Structure 1
């Protein structure tokens, strides 16, 4: 495989969640795109990508895992010089309650399927930029429900209040991929229909105010042969953290956001590329965590190159 595997990030828009009402409720998990050259257009073809994130949370009743499978079609369409790339992703969130009868039960939650696309431009000299648009269909197929303790009692809060609304996602990314480097900055905004609820009789009829949010993912890595190594950083900020009245609960109350830093190691196996990255909270108003993530990128299909016409044999007599 060539350095083009880095460009898989142009559509590898891994989807995830934070968990519980007291934590940052951006639907797109912070750091889901680090290690990917999300500004660079993909070569035409079909790609599969899977990312798993494990958040080991300090002083919390639970840890969180997020699994994000993504299928990407980099189309042959290049309007105005930018390649159109389409994707679909059905994320799943897992919560792992700490031990004890008063701890929370383990759960698995289907996030609304993400459908979207990217318009990615090659600017030349190994620079690229991309624009993203899409939606998490939480109101169609996102799980509904509440937390339950190991003793069976209901916890009076939604597991993921942001699933009470579809999440509209827009983003912009810029990448440099020359000389084996991947230098990428990616901004992702989440926009909600708010206030929202899970409907009468679900989640005790609670109405949530869902704060729009902004994520920043940063990557600075370099390849040495088949190996890749470098630094990563990522974070999220909620725009509205004020108290609400009239029975409306702000899901991001007193939670402005958080920022993490760490490192990444990758290896190109030829048929696939694997990455592992670890990050630790360096600034937060919500929770401290150590996050360990693994990713696998597999090209499934690319158009067969057109064979060159054989050169005529010329004999000199």
Structure 2
């Protein structure tokens, strides 16, 4: 039972899609074959948006977002690939039926324009599994709002519900159980000894609501919103605490890399880089809030919620790697 519960979840997590490098051959990255013979039509729509408005829209289709929230996955992918002010990213997880879009804080498109395009041209297509129409609708929609025109409704043809399919290596994970029983047994003993370790105390916040799925029923009563002054103070506090946590993690990572090498520390390097990217975007939002041009209350609340959410994502990623990091640092001490 120990072998089963340790091996299978690990293999399933490995099958999930981490924030990925984008295809270098164009603006389409399709890991699940969602576009099929419509890839050329999508490419033409993306090219038209760039030619008309000098805005690049990158579209990504994956099976799932590997446990991340859709927004944090999209933002992390955009950051990893160096997308800039005039770049947009539309990320779709076909199996988990989730999507998100990412835009630079200084993007020529406003938050309201992005939401209008998503609600009018992207989500209706995704609800009917027309993966190409979602990308074409996004490209045409962004071009329309930048030109001051209404967002056109895309022509939708219902398609395959789950082009990503089940995890491809689920059976392989089962086949691996017997060969690794001995190794897993040893790992189980080690895991138990670390189970009671004192975890790093991190900021716990509730991320803002993203578009986690499409077509889901609503109707649930929402709690009263936090007063803006209180929300502002909370955002400042989590920024400082997350910055302190990241600095500590970077120092510890430097010691571990020097001691065990870059290859052994690679997972923790990625976690620190992800957290740093989230914190950088959160600080940009804070700077925008504190500049000489005040935002209306609704925009201010949205930006404060995003600061708190990004800090939460940064801390969550550091926490997720903390046990393995502690185990690495303990190798020499326990040898």
One fold, TM greater than 0.5?
no
Structure with greater proportional helix content: 2
Structure with greater proportional strand content: 1
- TM-score for the superposition, normalised by structure 2: 0.27
- TM-score for the superposition, normalised by structure 1: 0.28
